[in-house]
Amino acid sequence: MSGLSTGLLILIIFLSLLLLAVIVVTVIAVIEPHTLKVTTRKMYPASKIPGFKKQDPSTASGSFSQPGIRLFFFSDLHADICLIKPERLISAIREAHGSSPLDAVIFGGDICNDYQVNEKGLSYLKMISDTCNEIGIPFYGVTGNHDFGFDPSDCRAFFECIENKQIHFTSRATGKPVVLCGVDDSGRKNRVWYKVPDVPSDCTSVLAVHNPDSILHFNEDDHVDFMLSGHFHAGQIKMPFKLEFLLLRDDKLPKMNVVEGIFEHNGTTLFISRGVGCNKLPFRLGALPEVSVVEIFA
Ligand SMILES: [Fe+2]
């Protein structure tokens, strides 16, 4: 009798702890999409390694004392399930520009989950665009896989689409030319990996492209020094053993442990943002929404 009681007690304690854990995880997953993290991402020139490795600023920083250009990058708005208010993002842009001048604001694609409901996304982007106009910095962007069917040359995009364009800057650190360009996303059905724009070899090239897997499809002679992307949402709801990527997505880099942050690969420094909004469900777990001040040392 006493053995049965003890066993029952252990079961009740176990189930109570399990229930408590589920409640705690659920509460965190509900709160996270509201919690914007403004990160500063410092990107240094990459070594020519064939695999992928996290960039270590202590060894990669070299002799740079200041960034060549300074960008504000945000991706994966998914405005129909975005719990970060535009005012919060706007104040992050103003603060970043106030501390040291920004050269541009760049959007990395995915306006809404569904192209058909992108009015909400467009009004969000309009507020960002108005802010950029007011403080006198350009607003550039590329499309993501969820923007399939949307024409980025439509003036209602509010950002200037930089697919196959070359935007020229001069590095504050070296006085040398830096070229920003972009590649749009073809969408997932009948996926096409578009060609990277040809940037002169004497310029530092910065490429904005939504899907980080693009880097696996560069040609031998493509010249990309720095790459800004999003798309993975850092898994959005992280599960044990990376099940969110193994079961739910067919992207290749996460299976190589390349999910978020700054990596070096074959002469390219790659930044993968966690993005701002949510796909399908209004939850995030272990994947806080992110907008970034990106400092490019070149
Ligand atoms: Fe996305």
Select from 82, 7, 121, 144 the least CA-distant residue to 276.
82
How many whole angstroms separate alpha carbon 254 and alpha carbon 233?
Answer: 11
Residues 110 and 275: their CA atoms lie apart, in Å, by: 9
Q: Average pLDDT, stretch 288-298?
A: 98
Distance 277 CA to ligand 1 centre (A): 8
CB 141, CB 108: distance < 8 Å: yes
pLDDT average, residue stretch 270-274? 98
Output the DSSP codes for 180-242.
Answer: EEEE----STT---PPPPP--TTSEEEEEES-GGGGGG--TT---SEEEE--SGGGSB--GGG
pTM of the model: 0.94
97-118 per-position pLDDT tens digit: 999 999 999 999 999 998 777 8
Task: Kindly give the distance from the C-alpha atom of residue 62 to the centroid of ligand 1, in angstroms, as a whole number.
Answer: 34
- Give the tens place of pLDDT for each residue, 175-228: 999 999 999 999 877 889 999 999 999 999 999 999 999 999 999 899 999 999
Tell how far the Cα of 78 is from the centroid of ligand 1, in angstroms.
7
CA of 242 to the centre of ligand 1 (A): 18
DSSP-assigned beta bridge partners for residue 161:
141
Contact 180, 70 (CB under 8 A): no
Distance from residue 77's CA to the centre of ligand 1 (Å) = 7
Report the alpha-carbon distance of residue 254 to residue 202 in Å, rounded: 32
Domains of the chain: 35-296 (3.60.21)
H-run or E-run covering 292: strand 290-296
